[in-house]
Chain A
């Protein structure tokens, strides 16, 4: 068996008609007798001939391909978004090419180049390094882009209101009696989201008249600080960070929530397990994906003149058992 694909010429040869007759039959155009039609279709069947999408696309200047760029499929929220984007795109006859960049600008640039070379009709950026060289490449290529769960002024975006979400998390901790609240994020997070959520945390503390004293990088060893009269509660920038943080805190002798309360962000299914029971700011993943695909397809249809369309969705605070009142009144803390 050779892996050479049958061509329209093979079909024409086998059915004893011209190439254009085969083409007419395939497109359902007039001009072929019922008998010829039958002979061509039998040959198509026998050879397993398949009209080449690339050829059709070349004529239409459309590929019906969408690129999805994501940092880390091991982050369940990213995987969930990609899955739902694929489903919504597929329902509208678009195929999804997935790129996992690990958040490296060079990898991102080369993956985006590959997508552009494939002439994808549009790109959904679930995460984006914001690298200027990459941005100007995208702009120069004039390819429609939608930012999903991240943000940029120059592109269509759909994301939750990070400020409201983080605000609700802090509000909840303050209501439980926490006054010493820290924040944890990581460098391998999408830049605008990282900046936006951190700033939102700062503003929320300010609103409650609390000092901003503890801002940790997930890669640092900060468990000792918590054991040593540090914060009694932490807000994590993502559930992915929070779920692993439970493990680290408890390995360091701090129970969640007895010693440290913890709030995540995203709402991944793992957080809903009773053994994890993570209080979190949940994002509507399916809504984000659906609207992202809609924005992208709109942009593909209408071209680039229209101003960027930007939508903020409301996150929802989901209360579970990773948050509780602080063990000691904050005033008695060292």
Chain B
């Protein structure tokens, strides 16, 4: 590839007009298929466009429409395979609908979340999908004030359109499974990277199930698995898999000595060396329903927040006994 083709400036409509020897508005007419342009002028303009590699400016178009054909996606951690899978599905569906996808990682920091949403609003995105949401009311207010539709996917939010699994029911199912196996000393393990409302709901589901059996709930941070427990219900698969690593490094075998349940249903957990028992979320449904809600809002549907609650599914594999 000849490096001299890398000129400094991108071609503009003015360059096209100059090269084809017509006015700017004639070029514009050709591009929009409007006005009266002779066939020979038309082909001359098209040749110039081809030669220069000119591309009509979507910025200018967006300026007219006051909206970009862009959707913002906010998430906590793209390195968590559950979210990477959701983003992959989202990007595929959005690009089929001719939208591009801006991805924002917050690492679970509220300040970063605010800054990224602010940036998305400055970019006049057509909509926002939050795969993780701190629950910061300011963010929702900003979105509402800017009249940018938002849908919260995979975590629960009363104040916005939302699609999520029933975290409480899922976590309760994990506890019931462990209880049925004979476990009584069961701890819940969570971390700051779990989105706030999800963390609260999963803990609540765990605690309610424990109390229903007259058992004492216990909450642990990852890294220091307590030796007094025989089973752990983790808030997600990544935490569960790391926990197994830490337990086995400390000489406790899973599931012989201690049982572990995850949440999400990632491919990682399905690996034959891990075989994680987990509460699986229907990823395809989450994205399909989320985008449906979002596109209805983008089409102008008014009304109070709508919520879709999906059922998670306990998948029993080899980390519980």
Contacts and interface: CB of A to CB of B under 8 A. Distances in A.
Interface of A: 1-7, 47-48, 50-55, 57-58, 61, 63, 65, 72-74, 76, 79-80, 82-83, 86-87, 90, 95-100, 107, 110-111, 114-119, 135-137, 139-143, 153-154, 243-244, 246-247, 250-251, 269-270, 273-276, 303-305, 307-308
A82 B59 CA distance: 25
Contacts of B302: 1-2
A4 B147 CA distance: 7
A144 B61 CA distance: 23
Contact of B146 (A5, A114, A115, A303): A5
B121 A58 contact: no
B199 interface: no
Contacts of A74: 81, 84-85, 88, 267
B100 A154 contact: no
Interface in B156-200: none
A25 to B, nearest CB: 17
A275 B103 contact: no
25 contacts: A1-B302, A3-B149, A47-B145, A54-B124, A57-B59, A58-B63, A63-B59, A74-B267, A83-B78, A83-B105, A95-B119, A100-B88, A116-B55, A117-B56, A139-B53, A140-B52, A142-B5, A142-B53, A247-B272, A250-B272, A250-B273, A273-B244, A274-B245, A274-B249, A304-B7
B3 interface: yes
B297 interface: yes
Nearest to A47: B145
B87 A73 contact: yes
B8 to A, nearest CB: 4
A232 B92 CA distance: 40
A251 B273 CA distance: 10
Contacts of A98: 87, 91, 101-103
A247 B275 CA distance: 11
A154 B55 contact: no
Contact of B3 (A76, A141, A154): A154
A214 to B, nearest CB: 23
Given A111-B95, A114-B100, A308-B3, A58 B245 contact: no
Given A58-B63, A63-B59, A114-B98, A100 B92 contact: yes
A253 to B, nearest CB: 13
Contacts of A86: 78, 103-105
Given A116-B55, A142-B11, A276-B274, 13 more contacts: A1-B302, A3-B298, A47-B145, A48-B142, A50-B121, A74-B81, A86-B103, A137-B53, A140-B53, A142-B53, A273-B245, A274-B249, A276-B273
Interface residues of B, number: 71
Contacts, number: 198
Given A274-B248, A304-B7, A76 B124 contact: no
Contacts of A243: 271
A275 B245 contact: yes
B145 A99 contact: no
B91 A53 contact: no
Given A79-B79, A95-B102, A247-B273, A142 B7 contact: yes
A26 B84 CA distance: 38
Contact of B6 (A2, A135, A142): A142
Contacts of B149: 3
B132 to A, nearest CB: 13
Given A2-B147, A96-B102, A115-B100, A275 B95 contact: no
B59 A73 contact: no
B10 A143 contact: yes
B110 interface: no
A18 to B, nearest CB: 20
Interface in B112-126: 116, 119, 121-124
B222 to A, nearest CB: 14
Closest 8 A-B residue pairs measured CB to CB?
A48-B145, A304-B6, A140-B53, A303-B8, A154-B1, A83-B78, A79-B84, A73-B88
B216 interface: no
Given A2-B147, A274-B245, A82 B102 contact: no
B100 A97 contact: yes
A85 B40 CA distance: 47
B9 interface: yes
Contacts of B95: 99, 107, 110-111, 114
Interface in B290-317: 297-298, 300, 302
A172 B92 CA distance: 41
B10 A53 contact: no
Contacts of B298: 3
B122 A50 contact: yes
A100 B77 CA distance: 17
B78 A304 contact: no
B49 to A, nearest CB: 10
B81 A140 contact: no
Contact of B58 (A76, A119, A269): A119
B100 A304 contact: no
